[in-house]
Amino acid sequence: MTDKEDRVRGLKAVQEHRESRTKMRWPPAKYWGWAGIVLLAMSIFHYKRTLGELDRMRAQLLSKQRVVKAEAEPKWMSLRDKLEGWTQSLAKAPTDDVIEKDALAGWTFRDKKGVYLRIRAEDAASPETLRKAAKDSLRDAFTACLAIAPNENPLAGHECKKSSDCARGEHCNEQDRCSKPAQPFNLRIAYRAFSVLNDDWVREVQEGSEMTIRAIDGTFDDLVKNDMPMAMDLVREAQYFLVVIDEKAENEPDPAPAGTVRPSSPAEARQALPHFARIGVWRLSDDKQILRLRREAAGQLLGQAGVLEPDVAEARQRQANSCSLAISVRQAIGDQNAASVPPTQ
């Protein structure tokens, strides 16, 4: 008796169609070829569109910069070059004192509007290093103990992120608070405001990504509308230029390796050590140098402060050294009220 063949239920054609539907069917190779071409074309289109938008943003930003540069550069560059030249000459000048007592007798600069810069001696080697170092030139205890100016508390204003957050005549200071610029006016603010005129700024725009360009564009508008006019007014109203050049201290440690995080900058670290500094003052009305001194910055801390964190102890010593340096300048120009020792810190 022969084996019975498996019987197929229903029509054979229906069964074959049902089995074919359960099998995975891949598109033909031609389909994948066309799909790849379409995807490649879409990628190229998106890239060119993005690149075109980025080029448009760069062109608009550089166009705005050229307009600002044509107006502001003649006003700022001539004064900047003059101040930088004086700073470099002071760094190379002899160490003997120059005190124009006749000029100082009828013109006390300490209670007038001025501009201030403090850098390390090696940073005065060239205009490029000087401009880079100016970013660390902060108002310190030297100007606080030397100048006679009714400056506001820098922490009294409300919090800010940029100067456009502040009232007219105020800027967003180093403590991220709105305040009027302190006297003497620190050139650090002017260097920052006019940084958009530099070739480095142009290069950053030309090479930056879309995110970088958008960030620069926002900063540009704030600087041009707020910081730049304020800085130009303050520099124009200044009656003197005051510069302090800190010479290298004995046994000064080498700068920390790149990438090392430390609470103070190299300039601040030097100011906390006993060292000599050069001080120069020029009268801006006739470009006359009225003061050139070389004095030691070595203040003495008085009183018991207890155990302090290293960064706090360094900051206190830096203030004492800077104030002691200012008092020695006051003594040199004949200030009878200058104390013989710095105040208790």
Query: Can you give the pLDDT at residue 85?
Result: 96
Task: Please check whether residue 174 lies inside any domain of the structure.
Answer: no
Task: Please check whether residue 156 lies inside any domain of the structure.
Answer: no
* Residue 25: CB atoms within 10 Å: 7
Query: Can you give the pLDDT at residue 324?
Result: 94
Look at 17 and 140; give whichever has higher pLDDT.
Answer: 140
Position 74 pLDDT exceeds 70: yes
Look at 220 and 246; give whichever has higher pLDDT.
Answer: 246
Once rounded to an integer, what is the mean pLDDT over residues 205-232? 86
Per-chain mean pLDDT for the chain: 83
Q: Which SS3 state, helix, strand or coil, does residue 280 take?
A: strand
Q: Say which DSSP state 344 is in.
A: P
Residue 253 tokens read as 């440690």
Query: Can you give the pLDDT at residue 259?
Result: 59
Query: Can you give the pLDDT at residue 261?
Result: 57
Query: Can you give the pLDDT at residue 224?
Result: 87
d(C-alpha 178, C-alpha 157), whole Å: 5
Task: Please check whether residue 134 lies inside any domain of the structure.
Answer: yes
Residues of the domain holding 235 = 46-149+184-251+263-332
Position 1 pLDDT exceeds 50: no
Task: Please check whether residue 27 lies inside any domain of the structure.
Answer: no
d(C-alpha 185, C-alpha 329), whole Å: 19
Looking up tokens 């205009």, which residue turns up?
A: 127
User: Torsion angle, CA of 108/112/113/119, rounded to 10 degrees?
Assistant: 40
Looking up tokens 């003997």, which residue turns up?
A: 96
188, 173 contact by CB (below 8 A): no
Once rounded to an integer, what is the mean pLDDT over residues 6-21? 60
Task: Please check whether residue 31 lies inside any domain of the structure.
Answer: no
d(C-alpha 235, C-alpha 193), whole Å: 12
Query: Can you give the pLDDT at residue 22?
Result: 59
Query: Over the stretch 242-301, which tens digit does the pLDDT of each residue have?
Result: 999 999 999 888 776 665 656 678 888 899 999 999 999 999 999 999 999 999 999 887
pLDDT band at 345; cut points 50, 70, 90 = very low
Q: Which residues pair with 281 in a beta bridge?
A: 242, 291
Q: Are strands 178-179 and 171-172 parallel, antiparallel or unpaired?
A: antiparallel
Residue 84 to residues 21, 118, 130, 196: CA-CA distances in angstroms?
A: 84, 12, 8, 18
Position 101 pLDDT exceeds 70: yes
Count the domains in the chain: 1
Task: Please check whether residue 118 lies inside any domain of the structure.
Answer: yes
Residue 319 tokens read as 């203030």
Query: Can you give the pLDDT at residue 233?
Result: 87
Task: Please check whether residue 179 lies inside any domain of the structure.
Answer: no
Write down the pTM of the prediction: 0.78
Query: Can you give the pLDDT at residue 343?
Result: 45
* Residue 332: CB atoms within 10 Å: 16
Position 321 pLDDT exceeds 70: yes
d(C-alpha 321, C-alpha 310), whole Å: 16
Position 207 pLDDT exceeds 80: yes
* Sign of the torsion formed by the C-alpha atoms of 172, 228, 164 and 195: negative
Query: Over the stretch 128-182, which tens digit does the pLDDT of each residue have?
Result: 999 988 877 776 889 989 998 888 888 888 999 888 889 888 888 878 899 888 8
Query: Can you give the pLDDT at residue 342?
Result: 47
Task: Please check whether residue 312 lies inside any domain of the structure.
Answer: yes
